[in-house]
Amino acid sequence: MALAAVIFDLDGVLVDSEQVWGTVREELTRELGGRWHPGALRAMMGMSSLEWSRYMHDELGVRLPPAEISREVVRRVGEHYSRHLPLIDGAVDAVQRVAARWPLALASSANREIIDTVLELTGLKGSFAATVSSEEVPRGKPAPDVYLEAARRLGVDPAAAAAVEDSTNGLLSAKAAGMTVVAIPNREFPPAPEGLAAADVVIDSLHDLTPEAVELVAA
């Protein structure tokens, strides 16, 4: 089946944001008397906002309703991005290169407000024909829901799409959706072996993400 679309993850692929999310969540947890632990950030990677806010309430003991936790974390992350967006080197050029060949979608665990903020700040909004937040589907990554919805909004068969991912849960999500999976491992938070095993190809950086490279692995 010929490749018909490419779907990007956001956090860890285009924006070096995991540390920002981690810092904000840890600060809020400690401020409100919760119990932060070293594995909390990795545990929440790929979760939808409904899932990670519930995790912060139930597992970390944050004394706010999950909906309020989500709103406060998103507000603080948005403020940080407005001051300094941690864009990964080569992100804009990579998106524009691939967009010149195929329609693109974004399938992200970030909240809708954060997705829109990043696309506005980078000027990439027009490069994506569809964007999906995992808060808009029943289950977050590693379930395939967000990738399946992105393919549906693009009007393409998931098997005819390639996904660009960095994290264990993201790689497993794209694989479960039946897509060609391109891994660009995050150096600070590298995927586990089972995540890398789900990838069809592993590349070093966004500078190596070219239409030719994607076509080669899809073939």
| 146 closest CA partner among 121, 125, 127, 165 | 165
Residue 206: which CATH number?
A: 3.40.50.1000
Domain that holds residue 141: 5-16+87-218
Angstrom distances, CA of residue 36 to CA of 8, 31, 48: 30, 11, 19
Q: Is the domain of 43 the same as that of 96?
A: no
Q: How many domains does the chain have?
A: 2
Q: What is the pLDDT along the chain (219 residues), one digit of tens a residue?
A: 799 999 999 999 999 988 899 999 999 999 999 999 989 988 898 788 889 999 999 999 999 999 999 999 999 999 999 999 999 999 999 999 999 999 999 999 999 999 999 999 999 999 999 999 999 999 999 999 999 999 999 999 999 999 999 999 999 999 999 999 999 998 888 899 999 999 999 999 999 999 999 999 988
Peptide bond into 142 cis (omega under 30): yes
